[in-house]
Amino acid sequence: MSKGSRRKRATRPWQDPAARRDVSDLLAGGLGPSVVDDDLDLAGYVVRRVDAGRAGKDYLCPDCGNLVAAGEAHVVVWPEDDLDLRRHWHRHCWRHEVRRAGGPA
């Protein structure tokens, strides 16, 4: 192993404690800040915003059936008592669902 390769390994981000990311929000099940938009809040559901910068995968919206593309801001919604049922929705599709269900909580 040459000295150059040792030097590169020492500068990798996962070996630098100062560069490590705080993942406590991920471990706690948090996917982002709580929704503060009243028009997205629905009783019995947890709603979290996912900003475009954190949207790293493609999903299918359960309302319209269209793609929620990686890099597109959207919301993640699940019943308060079952995190396994979380789904990724377009924000406007979730707004329509809230209106169909009788309005905000």
Domain membership flag for residue 80: yes
pTM of the predicted protein model:
0.64
Domain membership flag for residue 7: no
- What percent of the chain clears pLDDT 90, i.e. is strictly above it? 53
Domain membership flag for residue 2: no
Domain membership flag for residue 84: yes
Please state the domain count of the chain: 1
Domain membership flag for residue 20: no
CB of 79 within 8 A of CB of 44? yes
- Give me the domain span that covers residue 43: 31-100
Per-residue pLDDT tens digits of the chain, which is 105 residues long: 555 555 555 555 555 555 555 545 544 444 455 545 677 889 999 999 999 999 999 999 999 999 999 999 999 999 999 999 999 999 999 999 999 988 665
Cα 32-38-44 angle, rounded to 5 deg: 75
Closest CA to 98 of 54, 57, 55, 40: 40
- In sequence order, what DSSP letters do the residues of 6-41 get, joined into one string? HHHHHT-GGG-GGG----HHHHTT--SSBP--GGG-
